Amino acid sequence: MEPSPRLTVRGLLEEPLMAGARVAPDGADLDRVLSWILPLGEVVGRYDDLAGVAVYVRPEALAANAHAMPAVAARGAAALVVDGALPAAITSWPPGLPVVELDLPVGFAALNRLLAERSLMQEVHVMRYSAHVHSTLAGLLHRGAGLTLLIKEVSSLAQHPAVALDARGQAVAYHGIERTAVREISERLHDSLTGASAAGRGHHDTRVIDVTAGDVHWTCTASTIRLGKRFEGWVVVLASGETPNPHDLAQHAVVTEQATAIIGSEMLRQRSVDEAEERARGDFVQALVHGDFSSRHDMQARAEYHDIDLTSTFAVFVAPGYVENPNVPAGEAAGGLLRLARYAASVLPHPSIRSYVTVIGDVLVVVRSLRYRDARDVEAEITEFAEAVSEDLSRRRGRPVPVAHGAPAVGADQIRESYRQARVALGIGQRMGMSGSVSYYDLRGYGVLELVAETDRSRRFVGDVLGSLRPGSDLYDTLVAYLGSGGNVNAAARELNVHRNTMLSKLDRISRAMAMDVRTPENQFTAWLAVRLELLDRLHTSVEHEINYR
């Protein structure tokens, strides 16, 4: 079953009612689609488009309105139907407007009835064919056929190759195309569908576009997959060689339009399955970085299910997720961060390397296996990946993003400590405004302080030195900026974007709050030590709380 061809001027001339009709000028385009006919009196004086419309006129009315014919042609009328002999006074016609001269007058009512019957017949054929295509594909969907078999059936119905693209233009299923050509064709399709030529030919969410991949020219009928208001991709039928005739293009449009809902539903189902598996894998990764297993056997069983080799050497990378919009529901924000983590983990791919991702709070976590064993090679590999992830996240977020990492973890048992080090390094890196690769080893000065930061004596020291200054307050941030600039008042004022006199006034207030002059070198060192001990204690408390009470 196929949709019947749409009525054209040529098809109208083949009707018995039009026997003996003549066409002027010679060589006029008779393949224009016809859907309706209107009398000239309803057309003259208006400015709407006349595509697909034939204009009916009697000879005497034509003679009186010959001056209006150029405007009728400019509005895209499919044809001018003259109900009788052409007036002798008219010897030329606007270019591009077929003029049909009837041998015997038939009247507007008869012509109007003829076109109405043909249009209704066409719609019935299209509806029947659409129902046939939909029921065929829906039957496959209900039997759990999957995307591959669905797109194969689309190709069979259209009798041409077919491909399903996701929202990023990646081919998720295809049939009738060589594997080696799929990527290039998909790229060309995506560029054409989203670029300047996206308008193509067609209407609504179905377009006909021309692309060239290699040495092959393809005429592509593409229909947009929408589920609700969400865009999911395209279903495309591809015809190689010469441009298909209007009948074939109409058939391709029906097939792709009916396939969008079915294939979109399968894509949604498959994504739900993938996301469920991703969440389960993410839960396992969280258990790895927190050391949260009931037994060694539990860890090994779950690792085997997720195909994770626990004897590998791993590196743990963490980066801030930066939730952009606080009004986004928590579930949607978490999903966006998880996708961001997956994008980050996909940089610098290698067949022998596996990456596992999760999101903890608003922190992206990537546990990545390492290729090398030599210490220098391992360090270079970790730094290279951290820099690449930082560059990718910075480009996506439009701001510098630090990516922190701890010591390599030899086997799964050391992942927890590597993660703790990475979180501490990230906190220090964010406080210091660092970006790129942030190594816990490079911050080893902090590592020495970390040994004493969480003791009662250290906390008493911090309280005695900082006094009433609290992290996040204006005076505390001013102190940090002043110490970070090496005690340079002008540099600190520029960083905080305040006047030098304002900076001096704040330093006086800070000195009073701390009961010591922070402008002397020895007191600056004491304040520097207190600030860093406070930061390390707070970071350690935060990480331990996350691990023990998540």
- The C-alpha angle with vertex 390 and arms to 385 and 396, in degrees rounded to 5, equals 130
Written as six digits, the tokens of 256 are 């792709």
- pLDDT digits over 283-326, tens only? 888 888 887 787 888 888 888 877 788 888 999 999 987 644 44
Q: What is the DSSP string of 194-222?
A: HSTTTT-EEETTEEEEEEEETTEEEEEEE
Phi and psi, residue 489, nearest 5°: -65, -45
Total count of residues recorded for the chain: 550
Helices (H), 95-240: 108-142, 146-158, 179-194
Q: Is the dihedral of CA 137, 139, 142, 147 positive or negative?
A: negative
- pLDDT digits over 495-516, tens only? 888 888 888 888 888 888 888 8
CA 462/CA 172 separation, integer angstroms: 58
Residue 2: pLDDT band by 50, 70, 90 thresholds?
very low
Residue 263: pLDDT band by 50, 70, 90 thresholds?
very high
Residue 235: pLDDT band by 50, 70, 90 thresholds?
very high
pLDDT for 160 equals: 93
pLDDT for 198 equals: 43
Q: Which CATH number fits domain 291-440: 3.40.50.300, 3.30.70.270, 3.40.50.150, 3.40.50.2300?
A: 3.30.70.270
3-state SS record for 328-362: CCHHHHHHHHHHHHHHHHCCCCCCCCCEEEEEECC
- pLDDT digits over 12-23, tens only? 888 888 888 888
Q: Is the dihedral of CA 423, 424, 427, 432 positive or negative?
A: negative
Distances 88 to 92, 180, 491 between C-alpha atoms, Å: 10, 64, 93
Buried residues in 358-368 as b, exposed as e (16+ CB within 10 A): bbbeebbbbbb
User: Over the chain, what is the mean pLDDT?
Assistant: 82
Tell me whether strands 363-369 and 355-360 are parallel, antiparallel or unpaired: antiparallel
Query: What is 144-272's CATH number?
Result: 3.30.450.30
Tell me whether strands 79-82 and 99-101 are parallel, antiparallel or unpaired: parallel
Distances 413 to 291, 335, 417, 462 between C-alpha atoms, Å: 8, 28, 8, 34
CA 62/CA 48 separation, integer angstroms: 20
Helices (H), 291-414: 296-305, 330-345, 375-397
Long-range contacts of residues 419-422, Cβ cutoff 8 Å, at least 24 apart: 419/289, 419/290, 419/316, 419/318, 419/365, 420/543, 420/547, 422/316, 422/317, 422/318
**Which strand ranges, in their side-by-side order, compose the sheet holding 79-82?**
22-24, 99-101, 79-82, 53-57, 36-39
pLDDT for 238 equals: 93
Residue 195: pLDDT band by 50, 70, 90 thresholds?
low
pLDDT for 68 equals: 87
Q: Average the pLDDT over 329-333 and give the result.
A: 44
- pLDDT digits over 363-403, tens only? 899 999 998 888 889 999 999 999 999 998 888 888 888 99
Q: Is pLDDT at 330 greater than 50 in this prediction? A: no
Distances 541 to 212, 342, 423, 424 between C-alpha atoms, Å: 60, 28, 11, 10
Q: Domain ranges in the chain?
A: 9-118, 144-272, 291-440, 454-549
Share of the chain above pLDDT 90, in %: 16
Q: Is pLDDT at 521 greater than 90 in this prediction? A: no
Q: Does residue 425 contact residue 385 with C-beta atoms inside 8 Å?
A: no
Q: Is pLDDT at 328 greater than 50 in this prediction? A: no
CA 137/CA 125 separation, integer angstroms: 18
Q: Is pLDDT at 268 greater than 80 in this prediction? A: yes
How many angstroms separate the most distant Cα atoms in the chain?
A: 113
Written as six digits, the tokens of 181 are 């050509």
Q: Which helix (H) or strand (E) holds 464?
A: helix 456-466
CA 79/CA 232 separation, integer angstroms: 40
pLDDT for 494 equals: 86
By C-alpha distance, which of 337, 279, 345 is closest to 306? 279
Q: Is pLDDT at 186 greater than 60 in this prediction? A: yes
**What kind of fold does domain 454-549 have according to CATH?**
Arc Repressor Mutant, subunit A (1.10.10)
Stated pTM of the model: 0.50
3-state SS record for 32-96: CECCEEEEHHHHCCCCCCCCCEEEEECHHHHHHCHHHHHHHHHCCCCEEEECCCCCCCCCCCCCC
Q: Does residue 173 contact residue 147 with C-beta atoms inside 8 Å?
A: yes
- pLDDT digits over 405-429, tens only? 988 998 888 888 898 888 888 887 7
Share of the chain above pLDDT 70, in %: 89
pLDDT for 66 equals: 86
Q: Does residue 210 contact residue 217 with C-beta atoms inside 8 Å?
A: yes
Phi and psi, residue 7, nearest 5°: -70, 135
